[in-house]
Structure 1
Amino acid sequence: MRHLSDADVEALLPPPAEALRLVHDALVALSRGEAEVPPKPTVHAPGGAFANAMPAAYPARNLLGCKWISIFPDNPSQGLPTVSGLMVVNDGRTGAPRAVMSAGALTAARTAAVSGACIAALAATGAPAGFTGAGLQARSHLRVLEALGHLDVTVYARRADARAQLMAWAEEHVPRVRLRVTDDAREAVLGRPVVVTGLSIGLTGAELDPSWIATDALVLPLDYASSVGPALARASVLAADHVPQFEAVRVAGTLGEYPATTTWTGSLLDQARPDGRIVCQNLGNGLSDLVVAAAVADAAEAQGAGHPVDTGSA
């Protein structure tokens, strides 16, 4: 088995176009019942923190694995990331572990690839985009938006230093993107055909006013209901990457007074775009992580990257 650090994973990630193809196929497979992905078991910690196990099996592609992910909303105040975790990739034929990898870069890339698959299928080519938040997800999404040709992007961030850091990063890494930053969330999203929200999960007082969101917009909340509240969800076609998981989270009250979802994200990717505003509550599923992680494991084995670990026997 190989152990891969976050830096290893970052270097071995598939390019955005390949990651989009992988997660597109995974989302469609989920909607068709072609993979086994149970709702995430959740355990809780103080301060609204929680952790999920995210197992997945995709027999048609001999894929098997599990991600362990924790979300601690108060971590930024301590200079720590909100989200951290590990991913295990097994051989789908034998069950033997192939790789264990840090899940930071993987989660950011997978999340952006899922958003990218939705944007590619459900938004007009090159449509302007608005993003809230200036952290890791902003960077991974800017890479995907540039790859897809969505080059007019406005990002909201509350702190001046975060805005400055993002602008400097974008000039170096996504030079084709015409990036504007603002301290006004309304300015970032108003009338934009594509809206992605990447604030902290569990944040209060950050809901977007539904009147700011175009009636035919594609809305992709990464932060559960922190930004996209029940009123906006009720006024939209509401999809989820994994409907049973979404329903479990909704019934638990994590999404407030959210309505039930009407369809799977993978189903939307596999048909003509419905009219009106679309909200895709892609809460994260183990299969999307697994297909990207397996590509990383393949690259690590081909290149001899990472650190071999003797797992012994159970």
Structure 2
Amino acid sequence: MMCLDAAQTASVLPFDRLADALAEVLAKKRRGEVFAPPRLHMPLPGGVLLVMPATDHHLLMVKRITVHPGNPGQGAPAIQGEVTVSDAATGKPLFELHGPTVTARRTAALSLLAARLLAPNPQGPLLVVGAGVQARTHALAFHEGLGVKTCRLFSRTPAKAEALAQSLRQAGLDARAVEARELPGVIAASPLVVTATTATEPVVPDRVRDDAFLAAVGSFSPRAAEIPAGLVRRAQVYVDDLTAAQAEAGDLIRAGADFGRITPLEDVADGAVGRPEAGGGPVLFKSVGHALFDLAAARLAMAML
């Protein structure tokens, strides 16, 4: 069986084509043509094991990820694992992808798809709050997929934001780290905002532009929120998966959001629901992850290999 490393996995998952693959799987999800059970959580010493299978009845994808937050202090990655892709009819293993790379790229590509479908001003400038892997992949995805040229970065660790800005400049972006005192002005100038942090409390002020699109991808616990409650309440809210969001989207849960008024992205991708209402306030896309997005990556990789 062919096993792709991180660089090889990234090469078969270009952001533009991955966003298209995600749109296709979301439409299939709405029509009941793909299937993924709830992910399995198993506690481990100092971490957790996550196992996520999914199928389109042609391919079988199983993602196995371990999360050990204390690993970086010991010189090891916090997230490790793989995505194994097999023939659904026979179970024959076909290939294996680098799990953390799949997670990073499909998450950013999903935000890219959401921005394509929902953002009033998708050209930017872009503000990214965070300086980790998701911050980097989102900036690159919006640059490659939307043509965003200007990116501002804010992090609680300024040195990390500056290092990421330097890396993004080498990739062709006009990228600059900003300080906390600059954040209100940068928010006012940014129609695209991505929050990609491990913070448990809001990391952006409530006063974003009325025509702003926000992708909140960092928190995935009912007790954590990157977006302030007031902003959630005045925004037009979309989610990657309604069931998962009701269990894990702390940004929405803590704000007391009415999930009956929240739209799953699959409804927009499939054409059942139109674009957000013009003048209806900011657009918030909340993502907590789903195995079907890894299946979309597996389907694209199969086509690229």
Query: What TM bracket, shorter-length normalisation?
Result: 0.7 to 0.9
Say whether the 8 Å CA contact 1:199–1:226 is kept in structure 2.
Answer: no
Alignment partner of 1:194 out of 186, 189, 192? 192
Alignment partner of 1:289 out of 278, 281, 294? 294
Say whether the 8 Å CA contact 2:13–2:105 is kept in structure 1.
Answer: no
| 1:8 correspondence with 2:8 | yes
Query: Aligned runs of 1:157-236 on 2, under 5 Å?
Result: 157-173=155-171, 175=172, 177-184=173-180, 185-200=183-198, 203-211=199-207, 213-224=208-219, 225-236=224-235
Query: Aligned runs of 1:218-257 on 2, under 5 Å?
Result: 218-224=213-219, 225-249=224-248, 256-257=254-255
| Aligned-partner Cα distance in 2 for 1:146–1:140 | 10
| Aligned-partner Cα distance in 1 for 2:188–2:71 | 30
| Aligned-partner Cα distance in 2 for 1:77–1:144 | 29
| 1:274 correspondence with 2:271 | no
Deviation at 1:110, TM superposition (A): 0.7
Partner of 1:112: 108
Post-superposition CA distance 1:63-119 (Å, at most 9, x none): 321212334444444454443332111113322221222212111111111011011
Deviation at 1:163, TM superposition (A): 2.6
| 1:64 correspondence with 2:49 | no
Query: Aligned runs of 1:131-142 on 2, under 5 Å?
Result: 131-142=128-139
| Aligned-partner Cα distance in 1 for 2:289–2:118 | 19
Post-superposition CA distance 1:12-35 (Å, at most 9, x none): 323222111111212232234332
SS of 2:16's equivalent? helix
Say whether the 8 Å CA contact 1:20–1:116 is kept in structure 2.
Answer: yes
Deviation at 1:196, TM superposition (A): 0.7
SS of 1:55's equivalent? strand
- Greater relative contact order structure (CA < 8 Å, 6+ sep): 1
Deviation at 1:259, TM superposition (A): 2.3
Say whether the 8 Å CA contact 1:63–1:291 is kept in structure 2.
Answer: no
Say whether the 8 Å CA contact 2:128–2:194 is kept in structure 1.
Answer: yes
Say whether the 8 Å CA contact 1:229–1:258 is kept in structure 2.
Answer: no
| Aligned-partner Cα distance in 2 for 1:71–1:99 | 23
Partner of 1:150: 148
SS of 1:210's equivalent? coil
Q: Percent identity?
A: 26
Give, as a single letter, the amino acid of the residue that structure 2 aligns with 1:195: V
Identify the range of structure 1 (111-120 vs 87-96) with the bigger mean alpha-carbon deviation.
Answer: 87-96
Count how many residue pairs are aligned between Structure 1 and Structure 2: 290
| Aligned-partner Cα distance in 1 for 2:109–2:227 | 20
* TM-score normalised by length of structure 2: 0.83
Give, as a single letter, the amino acid of the residue that structure 1 aligns with 2:42: V
Post-superposition CA distance 1:238-297 (Å, at most 9, x none): 22212122223359x995455243221121333421222222222111111122133334
Question: Structure 1 21/153 Cα, relative in aligned 2: closer, same or farther at 3 Å?
Answer: same
